[in-house]
């Protein structure tokens, strides 16, 4: 009550002033967690396993991080650091948002297990903040801030929603320890049952089409993204107009 009771993980100093020098570091621990999660999934990144990865005892991690949840918050921000938004806003909002969306998707595909960490309250980590500044900066010159938030919700909703679907199948497979062919073997009877019942014509159509989809996932994503950006463009006050009746930045 009266003592420290730290508050936000980003406000808790990594190392106090006094005492012996710490052997490890938050960055090292976070990196180990990412490495394990990449290789074996996030649920394999237990405190004991992470500690072992860096050659520490399990309880030593708690000298650096107050709980596993806080460690995951660190990991999440570390992942956001992989998203390259250097030079944004560039003045070309469409190019900026395209790059951002592409970077986010690439990061998710590199670390599919973030699909399993439910987006939490804003963590206020440095990388998250950098993203906010750079990416929302792209539209900041064109719309007021609440409009900007609304449009970004559409964009990030689309990006995260679609890539989550791409990624969580793979995650689910790995988690269940099934190979893709094993999963198909298990699901096929059910699919066949549904198709043969004749009650699900659209589902059947999807199954039939699945064999010969002519667009790769990359192309599908880019195609949908273009549409979403068109949608955002339509909501922007036309830059070609002589004057905007709703000046965004007074």
Stretch that binds its own copies, among 46-54, 78-86, 216-224, 238-246 (CB under 8 A): 216-224
Q: How far is CA 157 from CA 22, 31, 78, 128, 208, in A?
A: 41, 28, 21, 16, 29
- Using CB under 7 A, pick the residue from 10, 24, 183, 200 that binds DNA: 24
Does the footprint of DNA cover residue 49 (CB under 7 A)?
yes
Could you tell me the two tokens for 245? 């009746």
Stretch of 43-51, 52-60, 189-197, 237-245 contacting its own copies, by CB under 8 A: 189-197
Please name the residues in contact with 28: beta carbons below 8 A apart, sequence gap of 6 or more.
Answer: 54
| Contacts with its own copies, 135-164, as mask; x by CB under 8 A | -xx--x----xx--xx--xx-xxxxxxx-x
Judge residue 59's burial from the number of C-beta atoms within 10 Å of its C-beta, 0-12 exposed, 13-18 middle, 19 or more buried. Answer: exposed
- How many residues bind its own copies (CB under 8 A)? The answer is 68
Q: Is 214 in the site for its own copies (CB under 8 A)?
A: yes
Q: Quick one: which of 182, 170, 160 has its CA closest to 107?
A: 160
118 binds DNA (CB under 7 A): no
- Number of residues counted as binding DNA (CB under 7 A): 27
Q: Is 119 left (phi over 0), alpha (psi -120 to 50) or beta?
A: beta
Whether 160 and 112 have beta carbons less than 8 Å apart is answered as no
For residues 132-145, one letter each, b for 16 or more C-beta atoms within 10 angstroms of the residue's C-beta and e for the rest, the string is eebbbbbbbebbee
What residues make contact with its own copies under the rule CB under 8 A?
A: 7-8, 10-11, 69, 115-116, 118-122, 124, 129, 132-133, 136-137, 140, 145-146, 149-150, 153-154, 156-162, 164-165, 168-169, 171-173, 176, 183, 185-187, 189-191, 193-194, 200-203, 205-206, 209, 213-215, 220, 223-224, 227-228, 230-231, 234-235
């Amino acid at each position: 009550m009266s003592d420290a009771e730290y508050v936000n993980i980003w406000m808790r100093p990594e190392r106090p002033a006094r005492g012996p020098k710490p052997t490890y570091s938050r960055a090292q621990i976070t990196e180990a967690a990412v490495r394990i999660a990449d290789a074996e999934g996030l649920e394999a990144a237990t405190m004991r396993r992470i500690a072992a990865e860096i050659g520490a005892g399990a309880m030593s991690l708690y000298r650096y991080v107050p709980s596993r949840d806080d460690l995951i918050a660190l990991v999440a921000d570390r992942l956001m650091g992989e998203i390259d938004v250097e030079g944004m806003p560039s003045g070309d909002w469409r190019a900026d948002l395209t790059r951002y969306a592409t970077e986010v998707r690439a990061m998710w595909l590199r670390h599919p297990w973030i699909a399993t960490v439910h987006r939490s309250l804003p963590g206020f980590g440095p990388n998250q903040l950098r993203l906010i500044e750079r990416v929302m900066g792209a539209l900041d010159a064109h719309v007021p801030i609440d409009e900007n938030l609304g449009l970004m919700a559409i964009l990030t909703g689309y990006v995260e929603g679609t890539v989550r679907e791409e990624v969580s199948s793979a995650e689910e497979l790995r988690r269940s320890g099934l190979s893709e062919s094993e999963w198909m073997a298990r699901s096929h009877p059910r699919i066949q049952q549904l198709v043969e019942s004749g009650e699900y014509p659209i589902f059947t159509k999807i199954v039939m089409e699945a064999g010969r989809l002519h667009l790769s996932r990359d192309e599908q994503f880019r195609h949908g993204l273009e549409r979403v950006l068109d949608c955002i463009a339509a909501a922007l006050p036309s830059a070609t107009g002589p004057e905007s009746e709703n000046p965004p930045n007074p």
